[in-house]
Each structure stands twice: as C-alpha cells, then as structure tokens.
Amino acid sequence: QSALTQPASVSGSPGQSITISCTGISSDVGGYNYVSWYQQYPGKAPKLMIYDVSDRPSGVSNRFSGSKSGNTASLTISGLQAEDEADYYCSSYTSSSTVFGGGTKLTVL
C-alpha cells in the first residue's frame, strides 16, 4: 500500500496549461482504469475532479482532463485560472484498497 508518487509542487501563469503526474505500479495505476483526481482548498474537504482516468463529474470544468499511460496517470489543467490554485491528489483503486498520491500544490503565478 505505498502511496502514489506526485510532484510536490507545480506552477503556471494564468492562461497556460499544466500537467500533474501520478506514478504507481502495475497493481494499482497500471492495472486498472480507475484513477481519480481531487482538488482541495485549505481547510476544505476534497472535491472529485476526474474519475475512471478521464471522466469528469457533472459541473467540473472541461479545462480539467485526465489520461493514463502504463503506470503513470496525468491531470492536465488548461487555461489556468487563479481559482485553480489548490492541492491536487490522485488516487487509484486496487484489489484490496484505495491508494492516494502524496499531493501536489499548484501555484498560479
């Protein structure tokens, strides 16, 4: 049950695109198309942004997109906005649990 690997921080300017990676192993990210991404503001509960690798829940902006290749999943945010500044977490289903990434702090410059 080791945590998925995410970069500690990423940054970008308004209007730019950024990508956050999430690396696991064949028994989690690589083995299932069940990767989710969450956005969390300080002091608030996380919010689901992407599920099943690339699906967006109703109400989530289409500026958020997800993909996966092998053992690495990615979250891309296009047209970066100030309100996107937050912590982002990936997670993956496994046969016996759910595993989260360590989190990535996104700074909008």
Partner 1 sequence: EVQLSESGGGLVQPGGSLRLSCAASGFTFSNYAMSWVRQAPGKGLEWVSGISGSGSSTNYADSVEGRFTISRDNSKNTLYLQMNSLRAEDTAVYYCTKQEGYGAVDYWGQGTLVTVSS
| Near partner 1 by CB under 8 A: residue from 11, 16, 17, 98 | 98
Q: How far is the CB of 83 from partner 1 (least distance, A)?
A: 19
Judged by CB under 8 A, does residue 38 bind partner 1? yes
- For residues 84 and 104, which CB has a smaller minimum distance to partner 1 in the complex? 104
Q: Which two tokens stand for residue 6?
A: 């995410």
Site residues (vs partner 1, CB under 8 A): 1, 3, 32, 34, 36, 38, 40, 45-48, 51-52, 57, 89, 91-93, 96-103
